[in-house]
Amino acid sequence: MSTKELRDTEPVFSFPIRIYWEDTDAGGIVYYANYFKFFERTRTEWLRHLGVEQGSLLANEDSMFVVSQTDAKYHKPARIDDLLNITLHIKHMGQASITLVQTAWIQDKTVSDQRLLACESTVRLACVQQTSMRPSKIPLRVAELLSAKLSN
Amino acid sequence: MSTKELRDTEPVFSFPIRIYWEDTDAGGIVYYANYFKFFERTRTEWLRHLGVEQGSLLANEDSMFVVSQTDAKYHKPARIDDLLNITLHIKHMGQASITLVQTAWIQDKTVSDQRLLACESTVRLACVQQTSMRPSKIPLRVAELLSAKLSN
Amino acid sequence: MSTKELRDTEPVFSFPIRIYWEDTDAGGIVYYANYFKFFERTRTEWLRHLGVEQGSLLANEDSMFVVSQTDAKYHKPARIDDLLNITLHIKHMGQASITLVQTAWIQDKTVSDQRLLACESTVRLACVQQTSMRPSKIPLRVAELLSAKLSN
Amino acid sequence: MSTKELRDTEPVFSFPIRIYWEDTDAGGIVYYANYFKFFERTRTEWLRHLGVEQGSLLANEDSMFVVSQTDAKYHKPARIDDLLNITLHIKHMGQASITLVQTAWIQDKTVSDQRLLACESTVRLACVQQTSMRPSKIPLRVAELLSAKLSN
């Protein structure tokens, strides 16, 4: 399935993000790097929803997910007060990495089922041991929670 | 020329970036989205070096460059107190867009000619009219400054 | 009423803020400047709740609120995955400015009615015309919405 | 000596900060919280100039400076492309804390000895053990470097 086809299926998870002054720049639009913050917040909420708190993962298992690769295409700019809906699809799951497709949609303020594509991104997360920063298998408990989700 | 080959030629511009607390996260490394800030600072300093101030461009010509596409690969993580050298290569110049390759190198603190690859990125900048957010040709004065650089 | 006494009364508004990687630094705690983002998000949501969208205020009336003065005391550090509750009290309302007291509480994860004081702040907002950046009266419609709240 | 009198004496340290897109917001000016980043970068460069790298301090001595209190007054707004000069004065040095006065000046682009006051701040730094987050004496080596500076 292509990234675009994947994006049009039902997302595994979605999360609302409101745009504040801090997110915008003097061009009047959301600063491009900030979409990567929105995508990260959504991944974090997805993991929390599955029962994984990354702070505990780091403290108890010395494990963390780091971004090893990402890309983004920007379409319509989001602006202050906009409400975004960030979606998450799983593209690939490996033993030590996960690849996700994430999309930022601007919700129309007047027509609730209308939305505009702001930004779409693919992101590859690698699991590493924090102390060594070396790649490591995704902890079994986490892998099982993720796999259960995949087979749904 | 591939992106990798391009990256190994002499850059058009380079700029030093020091890592501060604000750039890092609780994983002990630079937060992934912040490299996009470093790349943007370097593009801004490159344009300033060519004689283009983006604030004036916006105020006087309603023109601004927005990122329409970007990607990044992360290699070695940078940490607090690291000194990065951000390089910039021109990959393609069109009438309404520029594509750059940018790389973040960690300077070795002890061996001055040693460096480690932290992150490499391709970024496509589109010129737009701010009022309409529609694509527009790069203003002639700017295009000439950029072209002069290219033919060097 | 002292700031501390004020803080212990029922807040005019409160807003939940989750701590993400982006909010923390390599010291393992929330970066001190980020509390000012949390306070600003909460003020923005308070104004939205009253019926004031700052984007519209800027676009239609050339008016915006800027921070003219602020202070903060930091108590217990917040960490990744913490859920903060940000409260807002009105200390003073003038014709061209508002002074608020805002507090960041860390919600205890196990005992729902327990909370720890992370940061408390006073902030003075001045209303300005964006074009001139000169102080101006708070637009009548906004002043009325704020006053209605005060007299409740 | 009052804060204002102190500010008009020769600073102990000063550091240039350029304003980029990331620093501004849709109001066209520097987002208020970002001055705290500029002040922090300047403190970090001051410590580095004295021979103290905070990353080493944390790794080798489990010590870090955290902000326990700060305030700021905002005067003229800084904008994209502005060059700020951030100054640092020592107001008080204790066994486990330092209080600094820091000021952000906008350099005039045409008249080099002209400057406009953007923001002034007082900040109290407390030394803590990271593991426990409890206050601790400033490590002797650091205290000596700071004191030497004071007696100059």
Active site residue D108: no
Give pLDDT tens digits for D30-89.
999 999 999 999 999 999 999 999 999 999 999 999 999 999 999 999 999 999 999 999
Contacts of residue A79, Cβ cutoff 8 Å, sequence gap at least 6? A19, A24, A28, A29, A30, C55, D26
Tokens found for residue A51: 């029962």
Which among A8, A25, A81, A108 is annotated as catalytic? A25
Q: Is the pLDDT of residue A79 over 60?
A: yes
Give pLDDT tens digits for B54-103.
999 999 999 999 999 999 999 999 999 999 999 999 999 999 999 999 99
Contacts of residue B123, Cβ cutoff 8 Å, sequence gap at least 6? B39, B43, B67, B69, B70, B99, B100, B102
Give pLDDT tens digits for C7-26.
788 999 999 999 999 999 99
Give pLDDT tens digits for B6-46.
878 899 999 999 999 999 999 999 999 999 999 999 999 99
Chains in contact with B via at least 3 Cβ–Cβ pairs below 8 Å:
A, C, D
Q: Is the pLDDT of residue A111 over 80?
A: no
Instruction: Give percent above pLDDT 70 in chain A.
Output: 97
C28 and B24 within 8 Å at the Cβ level: the answer is no
Helix (H, G, I), strand (E, B) or coil at C30: strand
A22 and D25 within 8 Å at the Cβ level: the answer is yes
Give pLDDT tens digits for D104-139.
999 987 777 799 999 999 999 999 999 999 999 999
Instruction: Give percent above pLDDT 70 in chain C.
Output: 97
Task: Looking at chain D, list the stretches that DSSP marks H as alpha helix, in order from N- to C-terminal side.
Answer: 3-7, 34-50, 54-61, 140-151
Q: Which residues does residue C127 pair with via DSSP β-bridges, in sequence order?
A: C65
pLDDT class of D150 with cuts at 50, 70, 90: low
Q: Tell me the CA distances in angstroms from A105 to A14, A116, B134, one per residue in order.
A: 10, 5, 19
Cβ-based contacts of B19 with chain C (< 8 Å): none
Cβ-based contacts of D28 with chain B (< 8 Å): none
ipTM of the complex: 0.95
Mean pLDDT (whole number) for B103-119: 89
* Minimum distance, in Å, between the CA of residue C152 and any CA atom of chain B: 41
Contacts of residue B90, Cβ cutoff 8 Å, sequence gap at least 6? B12, B98, B99, B100, B146, B149, B150
* Minimum distance, in Å, between the CA of residue B89 and any CA atom of chain C: 29
- Alpha-carbon distance of A72 to B22, in angstroms, equals 23
pTM: 0.96
Tokens found for residue C128: 């300005």
Give pLDDT tens digits for C37-70.
999 999 999 999 999 999 999 999 999 999 999 9
Nearest to C40 among A22, A55, A79 (CB): A22
Where is pLDDT greater, at D100 or D148? D100
Secondary element (H or E) of residue B65 = strand B63-74
Backbone angles phi, psi at D41, to 5 degrees: -60, -40
Residue C151's pLDDT is 57
- Alpha-carbon distance of D112 to C46, in angstroms, equals 43
- Alpha-carbon distance of C17 to C41, in angstroms, equals 9
Q: How many residues does chain C have?
A: 152
Average pLDDT taken over every residue of chain C: 94
Give pLDDT tens digits for A21-44.
999 999 999 999 999 999 999 999
